[in-house]
Structure 1
């Protein structure tokens, strides 16, 4: 069993040195910083599990969506609680959607539609405190791996102003269509050897 106190102490020491450097030197310490984060994640791993959503999860999912999307919706058309609640009732599918549990705590929602010749990522949302920790990437990579085994693409739609576009591009998605407010993005399976 690792010595958590020693490992955490080492992590904090290296992180302090890295943060203490001036900005021009920070780039040189990116590798050390990422190694520290990796070490920290090994010592204090994040346990990600999925469970089927139930009707009782609706309010959680609605508030999650409000937390993450209200800013964008207000810019497009204004936030109307009644309209947004009705919209979410049309999108939320208990038994089909999955609640993302982070160390046993509700942390987000993951919805995938399996089609005959593709997968469609209907939604993935995480509470702000769980964003940027690799959770979304891990779940999407699992989906892409599953799709590659079937030799089918994964597609999704995303608001043009949503910063998640950077994540999707990093994971191999490219823009394959667009509307006035959304991009359609797709990642294709690897070509057969």
Structure 2
């Protein structure tokens, strides 16, 4: 049982994003990423806008709602034979409450239902790295700024 399953807890839900949500999602992303990007000396709101707009696909984007209020968003992209967790952001004031773990459980359920591996990339100095490792992601390789992870498909763990 999570804190969100407890009687009287504010309900968590995922809701479909639309084209009109871009600016609100960008603001949330900037707030959530600010500290990690500052650590790397790479906080640049314009670059963040360009990156999000280049890959913005409302059909694969979900708002994370706590008691009906947006506290984050998640983007899960289907590829030919795997899923990519492209974005998972929780507003700073909502972090540390288990919301990310609840969302990750939904994402992992989707990957497991499809029996597909799940890929994610995180900034090298981001606290998100521990989060992804706790949820079964294995480091595959590094690039200049990022760590690239894979969570194998169900059944791949036991492959001989």
Q: What is the SS of the residue equivalent to 2:59?
A: coil
Q: How far is 1:167 from its partner?
A: 1.2
Aligned equivalents of 1:127 and 1:105: distance in 2? 11
- Alignment of 1:135 with 2:99, yes or no, is yes
Aligned equivalents of 2:95 and 2:28: distance in 1? 12
Q: How far is 1:90 from its partner?
A: 1.4
Write out per-residue CA displacement over residues 44-93 of structure 1, whole angstroms, 9 at most, x where no aligned residue.
32311122212322221111111121233344454343333223211322
Question: Which residue is equivalent to 1:153?
Answer: 117
Q: How far is 1:41 from its partner?
A: 5.9
Q: What is the SS of the residue equivalent to 1:136?
A: helix
Aligned equivalents of 1:81 and 1:146: distance in 2? 32
Higher relative contact order (CA 8 A, sep 6+): 2
**Alignment length (residue pairs):** 157
- Pick the structure with more strand per residue: 2
Write out per-residue CA displacement over residues 127-181 of structure 1, whole angstroms, 9 at most, x where no aligned residue.
1222122221122122222222322111100001110111111111110111011
Question: Which residue is equivalent to 1:84?
Answer: 48
Aligned equivalents of 2:150 and 2:131: distance in 1? 13
Within the candidate set 132, 141, 147, 1:177 is matched to 141
Q: What is the SS of the residue equivalent to 2:6?
A: helix
Within the candidate set 42, 49, 70, 2:34 is matched to 70
TM-score normalised by structure 1 residue count: 0.71
Rg larger in 1 or in 2?
Answer: 1
Write out per-residue CA displacement over residues 94-152 of structure 1, whole angstroms, 9 at most, x where no aligned residue.
23311111110111111001123111100010112221222211221222222223221
Q: What is the SS of the residue equivalent to 2:155?
A: coil
- Pick the structure with more helix per residue: 1
TM-score normalised by structure 2 residue count: 0.84
Aligned equivalents of 2:103 and 2:110: distance in 1? 11
Within the candidate set 15, 22, 28, 1:51 is matched to 15
Runs (5+) with no aligned partner, structure 1: 1-34
